[in-house]
Amino acid sequence: MRMKEMVRRTGVHERLLRYYEQQGLLTPDRMPSGYRVYGESDVETVRRIRCLLAAGLPTALIAQVLPCIRADDEHLVPTCPDLLAQLRHEGERITRAIEDLQASRALLDTIITAAP
């Protein structure tokens, strides 16, 4: 499928698809004219990328994660044991960021409630 169809099927803008390609997350085939040609598996890859981005993972880590996960029903399952340590580290980083945001929110709430 060509770029426009991929955009329609995934809901991801063309610029993001190009960015994923630049980051090594997506590797569409190319026609002799240079047009990108995506396969059915690319649709699932984009969905996985979006899921991992939503989980807070940076694209550099996603590039390492993608070849090391498989779909099991509705979940992504790691297949590379050494990847788990990195994912745990990212989970801890995200937890710290959430705690920092909660502290910021609490401070903001205190200021708001103190207003006349």
Output the six-digit token pair for 32.
Answer: 């002799």
Quick one: CA dihedral 97, 109, 54, 58, positive or negative?
Answer: negative
Per-residue confidence (pLDDT) for residue 56, from 0 to 100: 87
Quick one: CA dihedral 36, 41, 45, 51, positive or negative?
Answer: positive
Mean pLDDT of residues grouped by 10 in the chain (116 residues)?
Answer: 95 96 94 93 93 90 89 81 88 94 97 92
Q: What is the pTM of this model?
A: 0.77
3-state secondary structure of 56: coil
CA distance between the termini of the chain: 60
Taking the C-alpha atoms of residue 103 and residue 75, their distance in angstroms, rounded to an integer, is: 31
